[in-house]
Chain A
Amino acid sequence: MSTGHRRKTLVRLLVNGEEHTLAVPVQRTLLEALRYELGLTGSKQGCDKGDCGACTVLARPRDASGRGEPILSCITLAQDAQDLALTTIEGLAGPQGLDPIQRAFADCGALQCGFCQPGMMLSARALLDQCPRPTLPQIQEALSGNLCRCTGYTKIYEAVEVAAGLREPASRPPVSSERAAASDQVAHVPKEIAP
């Protein structure tokens, strides 16, 4: 049996503006290097084969500007990412706090379990960097590589539009209310709640 995986190689990674030099097994994926070598556990492993998008990070050539394009870190070898400047979810917030995308996802209820969201938010950030006022079809296209199992995507679209300044978070009147007759087996009687 091969034990070639124990051979390590030195890789240089530029992540969130910080330069790291790591000795990793040659087949170490970028996702594993981020999560297990650098402790950047915000990038998630959902499938480890490029199907779900939870491991999405942003990448650009080191000499370019901006944050770059979404890439799948689970199917990128760490040693192949040395020429890139990477942004993970931990690098998205700035000195002023959360990025508008992060704030909007939290405010709009676009986060349920939250597991797909780092990748989803980075894809959304890349979209808004390229296209500050996207249409709904553009949002759907840009996020189509990031699977979400909780939200039905509805509130994610809303969050992207809120982050782009295209709309306010939902404030629609919530409910159609009608009061039920009292039960004879009341366990706990609800109090009147002020609207």
Chain B
Amino acid sequence: MTHPVHRPGHVGARFPKVDGAGKADGSGVYADDIHLPRMLHAKILRSPHANARIRGIDVSEATRYPGVVATLVGAEMPAKYGVIPWTHDEQALATDHARFVGDEVACVAALDERTADEALRLIRVDYEPLPALLSVEDALAHPEIKVNERAKVGNVTKHVELEFGPVDDALARAAAVCHQVYEYAGSTHAPIEPHCAVARVDGDGNLTVWSSTQIPHYVQRELSRVLGLPQSKVRVIQPLLGGAFGGKSDPFSLEFCVAKLALKTGRPVKILFTREEVFYAHRGRHPMRMDVKVALDRDGRISAVDNKIQIDGGAYASFGLVTAYYAGQLLTGPYRFGTYRFDSTRVYTNKPPCGPKRGHGSVQPRFAFEVALDEAAEQLGIDPIEVRRRNFIGENVETVNGQRITSNGFLKCLDLVEAASAWTERHGKLGPGRGLGVAGSMYISGTAYPVYPNEMPQSGVLLKLDRSGRVTVYSGASDIGQGVNTLLCQICAEEMGCDPRDVTVVAADTDLTPVDLGAYSSRVTFMVGLAAREACEKLADKLRAAVAAKLGCAPADVRLELGTAAGPQGTMSFAEACQLAEAGEGATLAATGGYRTKKLGGDYRGGTIGASPAYSFTAHVAEVEVDEETGIWTVHKLWAAHDCGKALNPTLVEGQIEGSVYMGAAEAQMEEMIYDQNGLLFGPSLLDYRIPTSLDTPQIDAHIVESHDPNGPYGAKEAGEGPLHPAIPAIANALHDACGIRIRQLPFYPQRILRLLRERDARRGGSERVA
């Protein structure tokens, strides 16, 4: 068989992942693959009540159980924490209040996992059950019952109300208004790797925590705060990560528990969540109820958008303060809004906390808006692609809420999916039960501000050249499967002409690497890419100067490429160039680079939330088929075109698009966090909470569009989250094209489709009788 000849892995090449072989042969080390001498295994006791006062916890019997080495209760580390500094509302273990079924209450470390599990049953917790508030309605109706004491008003985590322009005037003058209510179900990330953390304390009291986290830096900060250790004594290392999607971007109970137990016992401690516990850790997609008005003028231009959003947050804030803003702030492209208003309320409820799932906060309003836009355009008889084209906001513009858009390849995305799906020939013409739908979206490439205010870089890189020709990149960025470590190698190859396979990436280790804020908000490649490029440029200059001195030419005439340094009259290997430069330097060859976003965003409270140095754009067309007898439907194909600015590695970008489309389609098809009347999560397993298998996943046709953003590294923007958004509304709009129904509630279960089909038939029958 043949294999591709690898071109030098410069920027833009389809270069295989540098950690691919280690993942392929099973030698890659994930958190649960770490096994340390004398290591203990710990398990966490969880609340069986959705809302309960804890009057006492007795661990004495568990402590005496043979094989148990230590127990732990919340009073031993009561400090509150949370990923957002303004909403510290979590405790590693509850001291006096359990807020959902699955909330962490106590912990046992034992010689083996099974013993720890058995000892949990010996812990006596004196609960006083309280009424549980399981819906937004109940939580708002009963402010006297507090889900979380941090809420200042009732059970509200955050309320945001912003208006840009005279929305009511525009609504009154509109040629068409779609006013509907949309309901988005909660779903979860379900990474295949469960959360796992291992802690060790050395003889000098230095704590090391290996954790399956996307945010080593924030975990380090919160461990330091809660445990009362100086940050310099806390080291967090992210090993290979088995999927995350936002589900590992909070500090979690298990990290504090292993650390505290390691401090208590002097022995390494591991906690591996069961799959059931992963569901309780959650931080998944917020259920949202959206009361949306979309108004078009007689030319089909969007004159007003008004969205009243209720967000079911679960028991803790997590990123919820941001969620309440994102739900409104990220809707204002790729279309120009004449006026815009949103009123967004995130509410605490007695359920596992929601958080940032891929496309944080904006997937739900995007669904509602793109379906409402279709409905409004239909009133005016405008083709769904045409209405989107007509409202294109353009490049180098400011949105209605003051976000600055630089590059914008959305029209090209629309063109591509229109052509690929043969839209013009087929939309509205596929016959009963089959149809096409379109949707677009916009997403951020990182946020302009870190979650805790500071003036330091958001991403840093330290680069070292060795006399052997080996390049070492020290990067705090988290490779969570998206492939940033590979891109760092490609950037080194691009700038210094080295072989990308001669680059070692030391990543996501708070002791060894410069800071990076973590893998969230699609910031990683954008920010660390710019930092790496800056460091590479500094070292490339040193190499060129040293080689030029040796070869007797100008530094500008030295070309660094294909593992060599070449001047007009001579060539040497990259390693020789490194040796010359090191001799000239008289010290180790190293350089640093950093990235910090310039000031961005609207000049109003909250105007910086959603401000990003660059925005990505996406368009999807979905083709669906509906069995009108049963309501069972399938997505035959999803065409997705994504403007990522510049594909630093097209294979990795396509992978991000395909994975996003899959995850979006899954939310439309089947995924939902369902609770019973006592707040018990239904079926917290991968059998009951179904995620798509190979047989459920639609055919995905991914297209890359490059708009060369002036701010991104080599023009690059994000690719990991944006391409998820349009999948859901494109499918909903395709269901309308197929059979004339408007589904406004996720997931699109066949029984819901069937009910809509029957209502449609009743309407048609009724109108025939009237006629």
Contact = CB atoms under 8 A, between A and B. Distances in A.
Interface string A148-185: 11111111110000110100111100111111111111
Interface residues of B, number: 101
Contact of B17 (A3, A111, A182, A183): A111
A64 interface: no
Contacts of B504: none
Interface stretch (B179-187, B382-390, B690-698): B690-698
Nearest to A43: B26
Contacts, number: 281
A134 interface: no
A79 interface: no
Contacts of B272: 45
Interface in B404-425: 404, 406-409, 412, 416
14 contacts: A42-B25, A46-B193, A89-B26, A90-B26, A109-B16, A111-B20, A141-B694, A143-B694, A144-B695, A150-B481, A175-B704, A178-B409, A180-B709, A188-B713
B81 interface: no
Contact of A41 (B33, B694, B709, B714): B33
Contacts of A148: 192, 694
A168 B5 CA distance: 11
Contact of A154 (B2, B406, B691, B700): B700
Interface in B667-720: 685-687, 691, 693-695, 697, 700, 702-715
B708 A180 contact: yes
A118 B23 CA distance: 8
Contact of B687 (A35, A49, A156): A49
Contacts of B169: none
Contacts of B693: 143-145, 147
Contacts of A52: 192, 275, 686
A121 B245 CA distance: 23
Interface in B485-543: 494, 530, 533
B710 A190 contact: yes
B450 interface: no
A1 B117 CA distance: 12
B379 interface: no
B702 A154 contact: yes
B763 interface: no
Nearest to A157: B694
A155 B652 CA distance: 10
A107 interface: yes
A77 interface: no
Interface stretch (B48-56, B128-136, B235-243, B289-297): B235-243
Given A1-B121, A117-B23, A176-B705, A106 B275 contact: no
Contacts of B695: 140-141, 144
A187 B613 contact: yes
A113 B481 contact: yes
A51 B279 CA distance: 15
B4 interface: yes
A105 B655 CA distance: 12
Contacts of A20: none
Interface stretch (B364-372, B466-474, B601-609, B656-664): B656-664
Interface of A: 1, 3, 5, 25, 35-36, 39-49, 51-52, 54, 88-90, 92-93, 98, 100, 102-103, 105-109, 111-118, 121, 139-141, 143-157, 162-163, 165, 168-171, 174-191, 193, 195
A54 B658 CA distance: 21
B762 interface: no
B771 interface: no
Contact of A170 (B14, B118, B193, B194): B14
A152 B700 contact: yes
A43 to B, nearest CB: 7
A106 B16 contact: yes
Given A109-B17, A115-B243, A180 B705 contact: no
Contacts of A157: 694
A106 B651 contact: no
Contacts of B25: 42, 89-90, 92-93, 98, 102
Interface string B587-604: 000000000011000000
Given A106-B17, A152-B700, 16 more contacts: A1-B118, A1-B121, A51-B686, A149-B245, A149-B663, A151-B659, A152-B661, A153-B697, A175-B705, A175-B706, A176-B704, A176-B706, A178-B707, A185-B598, A190-B646, A191-B714
